[in-house]
Amino acid sequence: MSDRRHEWISKRAYAIWEEQGRPYGRDDEHWRQAVAERNALERTKASADGREVLVKFRPKQPRPEMPRQDWVNPSTKVG
């Protein structure tokens, strides 16, 4: 592994650790995520900062639950 690549991965893994609230014992997970992001960055024509790639690897926010379509019966008269 080149020194530049290793340094990038190291800094990214540290940033992931900080973003996730500095959890204990998850360094391997953060390192693997940083390696995956770097590999994706190298496979694409992404910009130098890799923002397109980083967005792809961020955990998705849970979508708010939508009300069911049948919760209202339009034929029911009220009052």
pLDDT digit string (tens) for the chain, length 79 residues: 789 999 999 999 999 999 999 999 999 999 999 999 999 888 876 666 666 666 666 666 666 666 555 555 555 555 5
Q: Which residues contact 46 (CB under 8 A, 6 or more apart)?
A: 40, 52, 53
Write down the pLDDT at residue 2. Answer: 86
Write down the pLDDT at residue 68. Answer: 59
Write down the pLDDT at residue 75. Answer: 59
Write down the pLDDT at residue 10. Answer: 95
Write down the pLDDT at residue 46. Answer: 62
Rounded CA-CA distance 62/35 in Å is: 25
